[in-house]
Structure 1
């Protein structure tokens, strides 16, 4: 994970993201049942508030993308979807996709987990269960909660969204 100084983004980039909601939410406003900024203030309560809100997920993902650590939220959300799978063939297919995209060594979006968690998933990938990724997901969640989330709250992006929500 690469950390950048606070001013790494140009002011116009941040202002553009904050002012143009369509840019931040990439045209996905139609999938929000209410104003996407309605819950912005609650996001500061916990990382769970951010992850439990579609607009929060989008904003946090954009922030993580700016820090070159977008794989964390993508993996976390893929695991959440994985736990909802109802059929064995779908579970096997999804487990293999998650493994090849995030877990295996040299995966395109390789997550930062300890070698024992990676080895355990690798050893059991041929007979996946709905809990196959739990340990790795907890590790990634912990990393986001203690490291990325506090920076997100201090970021120009989040602060701008707060101001925008307050001005409504």
Structure 2
């Protein structure tokens, strides 16, 4: 085998490792609040796997198309969560996730869980209070007394809209996303160069 061809895989591997190292900070799994730990315990393995996986260019493109694509993708949510953390507004997505988890609570635990979510995020001066208007806050308080599956519906919708209209726009223009796009472009170029070099070497060896 040609010496040049033998060194190609190592060169490509080094480039891939460098790129993965540079964007690893984007994929750190956020720590959940204590009130949410039980609800996400069963999803820890999947979330960890998503947090370690480098998103594809197609995924990032989808995130740029709509906020719903970010929220429906576990890796996208992980990266967006870290962005919110940098803006000191991580409570918004934590509340949204808590609401999603609450909807899946068994009926026997709805009352307790509803109270926990309300005290953690909704009531005035809550540890992780989200930005709700007085009417929605009061409506949610009354709904919690009934502990129905949709008792956080309006509040969750309001926070989702807030993230979509405010944080999401800054997210798309953030250095975090720009760096990710640049690293993916570099990775694609490195792969193309490696493939071209291998093809040229294969032609040379076959001559």
Task: Name the TM tier (shorter chain).
Answer: 0.7 to 0.9
Q: Distance in 2 between matches of 1:63 and 1:81?
A: 22
The TM-score with structure 2 as length reference comes to: 0.66
2:100 aligned with 1:80, yes or no?
A: yes
Q: Distance in 1 between matches of 2:21 and 2:70?
A: 17
The TM-score with structure 1 as length reference comes to: 0.80
Secondary structure of 2:93's aligned partner: helix
1:156 pairs with one of 145, 162, 175 = 175
Q: Distance in 2 between matches of 1:67 and 1:47?
A: 17
| Bigger fraction of residues in helix | 2
Unmatched tracts of structure 2, length 5 or more: 1-19, 30-44, 188-207
Q: Is the 8 A contact 2:51 2:75 kept in 1?
A: no
2:151: which partner in 1? 132
Q: Distance in 2 between matches of 1:69 and 1:30?
A: 22
Name the CA shift for 1:154/1:20 in 2 (closer, same or farther; >3 Å).
closer
Is the radius of gyration larger for structure 1 or structure 2?
2
Mapping of residues 12-161 of structure 1, within 5 Å: 19-21=22-24, 23-26=25-28, 30-32=48-50, 35-38=53-56, 39-85=59-105, 87-161=106-180
| CA root-mean-square deviation | 2.3
Name the CA shift for 1:136/1:33 in 2 (closer, same or farther; >3 Å).
closer
Q: How far does residue 84 in structure 1 lie from its aligned partner after superposition? A: 2.2
- Following TM superposition, where does structure 1 have runs of at least 4 consecutive aligned residues deviating by more than 6 angstroms? none
Q: How far does residue 165 in structure 1 lie from its aligned partner after superposition? A: 2.6
Unmatched tracts of structure 1, length 5 or more: 1-16
- How many residues are paired up? 150
